[in-house]
Amino acid sequence: MILLIKEKIKSFSSSEGFRLFMRHKRGVAGLILLSFMLFVALTADFIAPKRFDEVDPSSRLLPPSTEHVFGTDQLGRDIFSRIVYGARIALWVGLLVVVIEAGIGVPLGLIAGYYGGSVDKFISAITDMLWAFPPIILALAIVTILGPGLTNVVIAVSIVSWAPYTRIVRAKTQSIMSREFITAARAVGESSFSTMFRYVLPNTLASVIVLATLTIPSAILYTTALSFLGFGAQPPTPDWGAMLNEGKDYIFKAPWCSIFPGLFITLTALSFNLLGDALRDVLDPKLRLG
Amino acid sequence: MGLLTYVVKKLLIGVPVIFGVTIILFYIMYMLPGDPIKLLLAGERVTPAKIEELRRAWGLDQPVYIQYFYWLSHVIRGDLGVSIVTKESVTLLISQRLPYTLILMLTSTLLSYAIGVLAGLITALKRGTLIDGVVSVAGVVSYSIPGFWFGLMLMLAFGYYSKLLPISGYEGPQSLVLPAISLALPSSAYVMRLTRAEMVEVLNEDYIRTAWAKGLNKKRVLFVHALRNAMIPVVVMFFLDIPWLIGGAVVIETLFALPGMGRLLYVSIIRQDYAVVQGIVLIITVLTVVFNTLGDIVVAVLDPRVRIERGGSL
């Protein structure tokens, strides 16, 4: 078993794609940055000196010092600890949004591209309609119905932004449908369902992976923007957007309350953007987004 | 397909989209929790008979599709209803705020296209050099920065430490500088990226090689032959960018306390003033559809191939 894994790793690390990726300096930088964020998120319990909701009235709005590396907020909470726990939320939210988006968008794209005709027209019409809504505005409208909260924001952002998955998977499916192996699969009596998921889907995966990597940063930016407006994560959740929402009232008195959460949003979004660009260059150089 | 047929077809497609949007929007508002009559009365004590009378007066006793047509017939006449909180006409409220938002969007768009196209051209012409590397990385960083956080940092640097510019409220055009920059930063990076990609692609085309081979001077090849074609997708993006900019404007106007439509939307959501929310979302969506259609038309004018390629699939 271990030998098999070793063999796999060996064949992967000597593969053309891997070597291309390793030569992509920005991609490697993105991967390192992302690994750092993941490390912070996973080991939060060990890294954070305080709990994220530990209030200390005697040390409110303290500037960064050796005791509080990033300073403290209006309730005397340690900002460094909150940022460290916030990494979990940001990465989890980004991942969740992308999984929901792909869960809606990919099957619709497969069906539209596979069946064509009126099914395709119907699905494309919905996709176009969704495209006509400015995402943040629609997300705001949905949050108005569902009420504030991080889960509702995740749902709202996912609902408004699955359309790119449908468009790209549909286009890929259409180009795959004329290939011989699809004709062969159908000739030996594979069902539509099985053809779609066993033969077409794997061939669209490279594009979906690239798209997913590149939509995680916008998912993180949208959800933090909604939290910043006060519609997302509610206190004392250490969501970076919510921290900015609380910190903006003290922007001049205690700028560190705002500087660090924003910096970490930027670094996280940057890591995915760098990685996504590199993956596109390696996996699917012709992919056009938007 | 002729240009005129194409334009008419595009316009005709825009109409059902707008209708679809109004239906979705009406339904969203219909599903909202809370009784609009109770919201309207705001705690006033009245008899059940009076409530029933009001319900009938507002048409709320009718089935939902009748209510929709009732609402739509008013919308078409430019009547978006009345704010539950201030009792003012929604149309009036929005028309007072819209100019600020439009000016903000216009300045930030001009700014982001000026910076983006220039940076894109430089990086494309200096491809593979240090300048290209540095500017491209700066681009990726720019669209990874949350606009609202960048706005906060600008406030801190220019409004507080150096006191050069106003940071909150509207005191004249200078109040729009920081919001416009915050809004322009991420979009300028996208413009740069697209300009660079298109320019690099066009420079590899045969007709550019022909132009060089003919011995045309550098300026002519780059600006007349290459730039003109590379700019087509950039121009289209200009129109498609609008919804994203409006979304950003909500956040930025709220941050800088500008009296625009975005901030009105934010305030109305907080106050649960649904008639205003519905009106604003409708206006924004119609604007988006209009700009998308304009984008399609402009690209068809600039690039005749599109009319044929896209004409078939409609």
**Are A137 and B251 within 8 A, CB to CB?**
no
Answer whether the bond into residue A236 is a cis peptide, omega within 30°. Answer: yes
Average pLDDT of the residues in A122-130 = 85
Tell me which residues of chain A, numbers 67 to 86, contact chain B at a CB-CB cutoff of 8 Å: none
What residues of B are in contact with residue A261 (Cβ under 8 Å)?
149
Least CB-CB distance to B246: which of A137, A142, A229?
A: A137
Phi, psi angle pair for A157, to nearest 5°: -65, -40
CB-based contact B244 A135, cutoff 8 Å: yes
How distant is the Cα of A164 from the closest Cα of chain B, in angstroms? 14
Nearest-CA distance from A183 to chain B in Å?
24
How many Cβ pairs within 8 Å bridge chains A and B?
Answer: 121
C-alpha closest to that of B105 among B278, B282, B299, B260: B260
Residues of A within 8 A of B157 (CB-CB) are none
> Which three-class secondary structure string do you get for chain A?
CHHHHHHHHHHHHCCHHHHHHHHCHHHHHHHHHHHHHHHHHHCHHHHCCCCCCCCCHHHCCCCCCCCCCCCECCCCCEHHHHHHHHHHHHHHHHHHHHHHHHHHHHHHHHHHHHHCHHHHHHHHHHHHHHHHCCHHHHHHHHHHHHCCCHHHHHHHHHHHCCHHHHHHHHHHHHHHHCCHHHHHHHHCCCCHHHHHHHHHHHHHHHHHHHHHHHHHHHHHHHHHHHHHCCCCCCCCCCCHHHHHHHHHHHCCCCCHHHHHHHHHHHHHHHHHHHHHHHHHHHHCCCCCCC
Binary contact (A132, B31; C-beta < 8 A): no
Chain B within 8 Å of A249 (Cβ-Cβ)? no
Which of A8-12, A194-198, B163-167 shows the highest mean pLDDT?
A: A194-198
Which of A37, A136, A273 to mutate to probe the B interface, most B CBs <10 Å? A136
The pLDDT tens digits for A236-249 are 999 999 999 999 99
> Does B144 sit within 8 Å of A270, measured CB to CB?
yes
- The full set of domains in chain A, from first to last, is 17-287 (1.10.3720.10)
Asked whether the beta carbons of residue B243 and residue A145 sit closer than 8 angstroms, the reply is: no
Verify whether the Cβ–Cβ distance B148 to A142 is below 8 Å.
no
Question: Helix B90-125 vs helix B228-240: angle between axes, to the nearest 10 degrees?
Answer: 150
Give the residue-averaged pLDDT of B179-194: 92
In whole angstroms, give the CA distance from residue A209 to residue A220: 17
B85 pLDDT band, cuts 50/70/90, is: confident
pLDDT tens track for B21-69: 788 778 877 777 666 666 666 666 777 787 788 777 777 778 888 888 8
The residues with which B89 forms a beta bridge, in sequence order, are B82
Contacts of A28 (CB under 8 A, 6+ apart): A21, A22, A278
Residue range B127-173, pLDDT digits in tens:
889 999 999 999 999 989 999 999 999 999 988 888 888 888 888 88
Smallest CA–CA distance, residue B285 to chain A, in Å, is 6
Task: For A52-93, write each residue's pLDDT tens digit.
Answer: 888 888 888 999 998 899 999 999 999 999 999 999 999 999
Q: Do A135 and B247 touch (CB under 8 A)?
A: yes
pLDDT in tens, A135-173: 888 888 888 888 889 999 999 999 888 999 999 999 999
**CA of B291, closest CA in chain A: separation in Å?**
10
Closest chain B C-alpha to A4 CA, distance in angstroms: 39
> Under an 8 A CB cutoff, do B285 and A141 touch?
no
> CB-based contact (8 Å) between A235 and chain B?
no
Q: What is the pLDDT of residue B296?
A: 79
Q: Using a CB-CB distance cutoff of 8 angstroms, which residues of chain B are in contact with residue A136?
A: 247-248, 250-251
The reported pLDDT for the residue numbered B12 is 80
Q: Give pLDDT tens digits for A229-282.
A: 999 999 899 999 999 999 999 999 999 999 999 999 999 999 999 999 999 888
Nearest to B156 among A26, A141, A251 (CB): A251
* C-alpha distance from B45 to closest chain A C-alpha (Å): 27
Q: What ipTM was reported for this prediction?
A: 0.90
